[in-house]
Amino acid sequence: MRRIFTLILIILTTTSCSNQIRQNNMNIFKKIFGKKEPQKEFTQEEYDKDYELKMAGLEYVLGKSHNLVGHAIIPFEIGGAVDMYYFPNGIKGTGFATMELLKPDGTGPIPNRLGTYELVAFTKLEYVQDTVETNPFNLIERRICGILTGIGFYSFEAKLEPLETCEMPRNEGEANLCLIFDEYKPNGKEFRVGNRKHGLLLIIEVHRNEMEFAMNNGTGKLIEKLKEKGYYPYSDLDRESVIK
């Protein structure tokens, strides 16, 4: 089944993710100041153990992570951006993953056919530590930060399935982002946190006519075309569309 999700989000993030802020939405302020539903509390020891197991599970699928983490100024759990974890030692380019959607007990986003999951995305660019904002890697890293943050919030509101499409609004006057989802399981490698099996939901930014093709013909058909051209699983759009 194909669905289009129109996300009306506000993302209160670090300054470099500020282009995702939508002033006409109060969801995050409700998250910060509103009445909170009771949630299970975990000890620091449980969080630390979960972090180690989750990182081991991600590295099994994505390759060894970089030793630097892009920490958000405002934590994701109170409305900020996701922390960015970098994986430059797997496939060519750099992988990005979230580590804040799954709780130590395995709960997290509304379960899809993969169960609960974390998010991943990729760029064909190699990881660089240059902090110049105009560096090409930094530009796409910040763009993907906004995407992962927005989809991360939305994953707790709606069931997001592999092979669906998503149109994500930006600031007024800016074109919406066109996204597709897929299960990321390279060479059959499963993402596990200790003994628990979870999923990795891959997000790929695509050209608008590619998303429209996916809506009309199935996302699987678009993915086949992306793979034929060597564009899968990357979100870089400095390429021609695979739809003529």
pLDDT at 103 over 90: yes
Q: What is the mean pLDDT of residues 50-54?
A: 97
Using a pLDDT cut of 90, give the percent of the chain over it.
77
Q: How far apart are CA 113 and CA 84, in angstroms?
A: 25
Q: What is the mean pLDDT of residues 13-33?
A: 35
Q: Which pLDDT does position 37 carry in this prediction? A: 56
Residue 120: which residues within 8 A CB-CB, separation 6 or more? 62, 95, 96, 97, 98, 184, 200, 201, 202, 203
Of 95, 31, 35, the C-alpha closest to 63 is 95
Would 216 be classed as within a structural domain?
A: yes
Would 200 be classed as within a structural domain?
A: yes
**Residue 1 · residue 113 · CB < 8 Å:** no
Would 47 be classed as within a structural domain?
A: yes
Q: What is the pLDDT of residues 157-214, one digit of tens each?
A: 999 999 999 999 988 888 999 999 999 999 999 999 999 999 999 999 999 999 999 9
Q: What is the pLDDT of residues 137-151, one digit of tens each?
A: 999 999 999 999 999
Would 244 be classed as within a structural domain?
A: no
Using a pLDDT cut of 70, give the percent of the chain over it.
84
DSSP state of 19: G
pLDDT at 10 over 80: no
Would 36 be classed as within a structural domain?
A: no
Lowest mean pLDDT among 4-13, 37-46, 99-108: 4-13
Would 203 be classed as within a structural domain?
A: yes
Domain range spanning residue 160? 4-30+43-229
Q: Which pLDDT does position 17 carry in this prediction? A: 37
Letter string b/e over residues 103-114, b meaning 16 or more CB atoms within 10 A of that residue's CB? ebebebbeebeb
Would 235 be classed as within a structural domain?
A: no
Residue type at 37 in one-letter notation: E
- How many structural domains are present in the chain? 1
| Helix 219-229 with 208-217: angle, nearest 10 deg | 130
Letter string b/e over residues 206-224, b meaning 16 or more CB atoms within 10 A of that residue's CB? beeebbebbbeeebeebbe
Would 38 be classed as within a structural domain?
A: no
pTM of the model: 0.85
Mean pLDDT of the chain: 87
Tokens of 55: 């990182």
